[in-house]
């Protein structure tokens, strides 16, 4: 009886362990996954240029992972590393480095992907890098939204991101439009993904996506600046200079406001801020032409020291420091006064008892 009791306990213990293991496996399967490829296609197409990261170097070539396709494995054959004679593989390619490569062959059944580095032209490499950077930004936003709301990443890609790739060519272009009109992009995505997409895109998930997009993609205004010398020695020259400055500032628009400040006579600085660099440069050039036209009509002169250009925060800081220094130099030194100068110039002379100029 004791043996039967022990057997029964061991059997029940095994059954409980089996149930616990099954429950854990079921729980792990229900957890959302936060790994997914960037594009809807599982494998790249032949002749497509993709971005890879080198994992290891062997006698046959270099083993890499395709960064845009969920890090699936690929191989750059030794003969496809360079057009020239290979003397040292380590000089051509290094472990950990990211490289643009061309797809030669794809065997989906066996999972073999053969790649080439030597067939990628400089233009293809630049285009691949630009595309990868945009896709990486889209992937970062999508993954962050999935992790924040505990949503499966591939489900979010199916419901939202991949439909925007189909509609706009690249989802990054659609994400930029979502800064001003987010609901339009959600509607476009649901038109393609259907009811499953609408069910996945809950209000919480939508809010997380929009919040991250606005944080990462809201454009920062550029600062545009130009330096000029402005002089007018004609009658009422100061007034003519003021009129010329007003003419330049009158070129301002609602988006770009032109400001002209005196740095130190005769040097003036024109500044504006804009999101569109080309429009800002054109506007500041027009403002310079307006100032020049106004001052020359009154026999004045304008010389462009430095034309319109985009400047950094460091340049702006140097400008502020220079303006503060020049302003300090123009201030009167403490202790100076006209009375002191007058007294020093006259000296201690007794005017009443002094000899006349004729006597001298």
Angle between helices 122-149 and 203-217 (to 10 degrees): 140
Q: What is the pLDDT along the chain (360 residues), one digit of tens a residue?
A: 677 777 777 777 766 666 655 555 444 455 778 889 999 999 999 999 999 999 998 878 889 999 999 999 999 988 888 777 766 666 778 889 999 999 999 988 887 899 999 899 999 999 999 999 999 999 999 999 999 999 999 999 999 999 999 999 999 999 988 888 888 899 999 999 888 888 889 999 999 999 999 888 877 788 899 999 999 998 889 999 999 999 999 999 888 899 999 988 889 999 998 888 888 899 999 999 999 999 999 999 999 999 998 887 666 677 677 767 766 666 554 444 444 443 444 444 443 454 443 343
Tell me the residue length of the chain: 360
Task: Report the alpha-carbon distance of residue 259 to residue 225 in Å, rounded.
Answer: 10
Task: Give yes or no for a contact between 232 and 298, defined as CB atoms under 8 angstroms apart.
Answer: yes
Nearest CA among 221, 297, 284, 296 for reference residue 258: 284
- Cα of first residue to Cα of last residue in the chain, in angstroms, is 151
Task: Report the alpha-carbon distance of residue 79 to residue 271 in Å, rounded.
Answer: 55
Q: Give the model confidence (pLDDT) of 80-93 as tens digits.
A: 887 777 666 667 78
Task: Report the alpha-carbon distance of residue 288 to residue 294 in Å, rounded.
Answer: 10
The H or E element spanning position 308 is strand 301-311
Q: Give the model confidence (pLDDT) of 91-133 as tens digits.
A: 778 889 999 999 999 988 887 899 999 899 999 999 999 999 9
Task: State the residue for tokens 């987010």.
Answer: 182
Number of H helices, E strands in the chain: 12, 9
Note the pLDDT of residue 349: 42
Mean pLDDT in the chain?
83
Sorted by sequence, the CB contacts under 8 Å of residue 279 that are 6+ apart come out as 255, 256
Task: Report the alpha-carbon distance of residue 42 to residue 118 in Å, rounded.
Answer: 25
């Amino acid at each position: 009886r004791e043996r039967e009791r022990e057997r029964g306990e061991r059997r029940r213990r095994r059954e409980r362990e089996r149930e616990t293991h099954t429950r854990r496996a079921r729980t792990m399967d229900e957890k959302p996954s936060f790994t997914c490829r960037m594009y809807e296609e599982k494998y790249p197409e032949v002749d497509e240029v993709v971005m890879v990261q080198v994992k290891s170097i062997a006698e046959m070539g270099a083993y890499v992972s395709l960064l845009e396709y969920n890090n699936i494995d690929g191989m750059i054959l030794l003969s496809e590393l360079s057009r020239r004679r290979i003397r040292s593989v380590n000089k051509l390619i290094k472990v950990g480095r990211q490289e643009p490569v061309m797809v030669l062959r794809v065997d989906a059944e066996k999972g073999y992907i053969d790649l080439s580095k030597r067939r990628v032209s400089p233009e293809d490499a630049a285009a691949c890098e630009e595309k990868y950077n945009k896709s990486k930004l889209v992937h970062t936003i999508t993954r962050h939204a999935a992790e924040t709301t505990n949503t499966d990443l591939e489900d979010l890609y199916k419901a939202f991101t991949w439909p925007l790739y189909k509609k706009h060519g690249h989802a990054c272009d659609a994400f930029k439009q979502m800064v001003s009109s987010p609901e339009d992009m959600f509607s476009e995505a649901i038109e393609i993904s259907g009811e499953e997409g609408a069910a996945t895109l809950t209000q919480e998930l939508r809010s997380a996506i929009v919040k991250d997009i606005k944080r990462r993609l809201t454009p920062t205004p550029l600062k545009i600046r130009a330096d000029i010398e402005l002089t007018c020695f004609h009658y009422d020259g100061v007034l003519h200079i003021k009129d010329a400055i007003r003419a330049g500032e009158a070129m301002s628009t609602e988006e770009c406001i032109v400001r002209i400040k005196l740095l130190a006579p005769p040097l003036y600085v024109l500044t504006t801020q804009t999101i569109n660099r080309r429009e800002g440069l054109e506007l500041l050039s027009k403002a310079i032409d307006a100032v020049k036209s106004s001052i020359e009509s009154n026999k004045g002169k304008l010389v462009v020291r430095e034309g319109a250009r985009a400047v950094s925060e460091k340049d702006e800081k140097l400008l502020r420091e220079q303006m503060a220094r020049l302003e300090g130099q123009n201030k009167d030194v403490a202790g100076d006064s006209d009375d002191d100068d007058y007294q020093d110039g006259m000296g201690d002379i007794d005017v009443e008892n002094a000899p006349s100029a004729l006597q001298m």
